[in-house]
Amino acid sequence: MNYFSVSDILQSEVNQVYASEENFFNAAEALSGIIKQTPLLWSKSLNEKLRANLYLKAECLQLTGSFKLRGAYYCMHRQFMKEGKQDVVAFSSGNHAQGVAMAAKMLNTKATLVMPSDAPQSKIDNTIALGAEVVFYDRYRESREKIAQNLANESGAFLIPAYDHDDVICGQGTVGLEAFHQMANIGRSLDRFYCPIGGGGLIAGSSSALNLFNPNANIIGVEPESLNDTQRSLASGKRESIKIQPNTLCDSLMAETPGEITFSINQRLISSIDTVTDRQVIDAMRMAFNEFGIIVEPGGAASLAAAISAIGQKTVAKEENIVVVLSGGNISEERHRKLIN
């Protein structure tokens, strides 16, 4: 079987993204039996209340509690096919850490994770429980990239970026691929796709996959209003950096600068970017829990918050089918309860 990477299909000289179906089908095949095909949730009462056609892609129910296992496992799978098994190193505020730790456990190799000292304790505990070694850093004063690169250089380990890697992007793109097929299976078009943005890997992969099958879909990225580096970058036409501060509940979306590879894709395929407040995010978390009984972390609920806002502002046509990615559910029950109450 031939394998293709995202970099193989980017043709920047014509300012377009070209992809082959094999790229994402290969990832889906490699992940078959490894990840869950997460459900597409729908509520008649909620849609009647909102007067909308809203579907929730529940990656909060994925193994390790987020979509991150998809990219982590596929990236390691590809690397080990080419170079043989290695130890791995990664940096993450929690969800990618857990994805890498789980993938390493499945593939029987050692994982070292560089995590911020103020990461949610539940994410730290889960990462350690999966057998990974954790190295802490100060996210406001130190560079996690440099720390991780030094660790990888010292041990000869493979460094798995959280988002800015061809195979990571491709693995994450199976979220969009699944959503398209799930909508098709119920005879629905996918007209709007709301997806949270941290470094941009999930939306870059998903938009690339969707562009193959449904190029007319509107792809809406969602960021916290205080961490809108991708929104600013799209406005200026170049990658912009912002200062990371502890001023949002959405710890999983705290990226300082869009990825180089992810931005080149998102610049071409994203229709627009919405921003949300912490209050909107909490309301979305509460709605997901009350309507579906599922726990969604703040960053994971950002896209639902944006979709609800757009529906309320009537910027979405009533006949449009909206798919929202609930990207993660890694939050303690106690903290979740305090937030939504």
> Tell me: the pLDDT tens digits for 162-191?
999 999 999 999 999 999 999 999 999 999
Cα gap 237→227, rounded to integer Å: 17
Cα gap 83→78, rounded to integer Å: 9
Position 3 pLDDT exceeds 60? no
| pLDDT tens, position by position, 72-83 | 999 999 999 999
Under the banding of pLDDT at 50, 70 and 90, the label for residue 244 is: confident
Position 5 pLDDT exceeds 50? no
Position 16 pLDDT exceeds 50? no
Residue 3 CB: number of other CB atoms within 10 A? 16
What pLDDT is attached to residue 318? 87
Look at the chain and count its residues: 341
Position 11 pLDDT exceeds 80? no
Of 66, 95, 101, the closest CA to residue 251 belongs to 95
Structural domains in the chain plus CATH codes: 17-66+168-340 (3.40.50.1100), 68-163 (3.40.50.1100)
Position 235 pLDDT exceeds 90? yes
Sign of torsion over alpha carbons 207, 203, 103, 141: positive
CB 267 within 8 A of CB 238: no
CB 325 within 8 A of CB 301: no
CB 172 within 8 A of CB 137: no
Under the banding of pLDDT at 50, 70 and 90, the label for residue 20 is: low
Cα gap 97→125, rounded to integer Å: 11
Has this prediction a pTM greater than 0.85?
Answer: yes
For the chain, the average pLDDT equals: 91
Q: What number of CA atoms fall less than 13 Å from residue 41's CA on the CB side?
A: 21
What pLDDT is attached to residue 272? 96
Mean pLDDT of 102-125: 94
Under the banding of pLDDT at 50, 70 and 90, the label for residue 140 is: confident
Position 46 pLDDT exceeds 90? yes
Rg (CA), the chain: 19
| pLDDT tens, position by position, 201-223 | 999 999 999 999 899 999 999 99
- Would you state the structure tokens that stand for residue 326, as one six-digit string? 């609930």
* Cα 163 from chain centre: 8
- Would you state the structure tokens that stand for residue 261, as one six-digit string? 């590879």
3-state secondary structure the chain: CCCCCHHHHEEHHHCEECCCHHHHHHHHHHHCCCCCCCCEECCHHHHHHHCCEEEEEEHHHCHHHECHHHHHHHHHHHHHHHHCCCCEEEECCCHHHHHHHHHHHHCCCCEEEEEECCCCHHHHHHHHHCCCEEEEECCCCCCHHHHHHHHHHHHCCEEECCCCCHHHHHHHCHHHHHHHHHHHHCCCCCCEEEEECCCCHHHHHHHHHHHHHCCCCEEEEEEECCCCHHHHHHHHCCCCCCCCCCCCCCHHHCCCCCCHHHHHHHHHHCCEEEEECHHHHHHHHHHHHHHHCCCCCHHHHHHHHHHHHHHHCCCCCCCCEEEEEECECCCCHHHHHHHHC
Cα gap 218→301, rounded to integer Å: 19
Under the banding of pLDDT at 50, 70 and 90, the label for residue 21 is: low
Position 44 pLDDT exceeds 90? yes
